[in-house]
Amino acid sequence: MLTLKSDPSGTPPPSKAGRSATSAAKPGLETVLAVWLQGDTSAAVSRFLETDWSARPLFPPGSTLSLSEAQWVALSYADREAKRVGMEGQAADLKKLSLAVLQAGRDAAANNDSILARKHFTALSQFGEALESPDSLAIVKMLGSGMRRSAEKELAKLKP
Residue 8 lies in a domain: no
Q: Give the C-alpha separation, 64 to 138, whole Å.
A: 12
- Please check whether residue 7 lies inside any domain of the structure: no
Q: 124 pLDDT exceeds 90?
A: yes
What is the pLDDT confidence band of residue 61, given thresholds at 50, 70 and 90?
A: confident
How do residues 103-117 score in pLDDT, each as one tens digit?
999 999 999 999 999
The answer to whether position 113 is within a domain reads yes
Contact at 8 Å (CB) between 8 and 80? no
Task: Give the model's pLDDT for residue 26.
Answer: 63
3 within some domain: no
Q: How far apart are CA 145 and CA 141, in angstroms?
A: 6
* 62, 2 Cβ separation under 8 angstroms: no
Provide the CB-side half-sphere exposure for 94 (13 A, CA). 28
Domain presence at residue 9: no
Domain count, the chain: 1
Residue-range definition of the domain harbouring residue 122? 16-157
Half-sphere CA count of 35, side-chain side, radius 13 A = 16
* pLDDT mean over 34-38: 96
Tell me whether residue 99 is in a domain: yes
Residue 142 near residue 67 (C-beta atoms within 8 A) = no
Beta-carbon count within 10 A of 154 CB: 20
Query: How far apart are alpha carbons 120 and 73 in whole angstroms?
Result: 35
| Confidence band, pLDDT 50/70/90 cuts, at residue 35 | very high
Nearest to 43 by CA among 104, 112, 109: 104
Long-range own/partner contacts, residues 20-28 (CB < 8 A, 24 or more apart): 26/50, 26/51, 26/52, 26/55, 27/51, 28/55, 28/58
Task: Please state the rounded mean pLDDT for residues 67-74.
Answer: 94
For residue 11, name the pLDDT band (cuts at 50, 70, 90): very low
What is the per-residue pLDDT for 148?
A: 98
Q: Does residue 80 form part of some domain?
A: yes
The answer to the question of residue 134 being in a domain is: yes
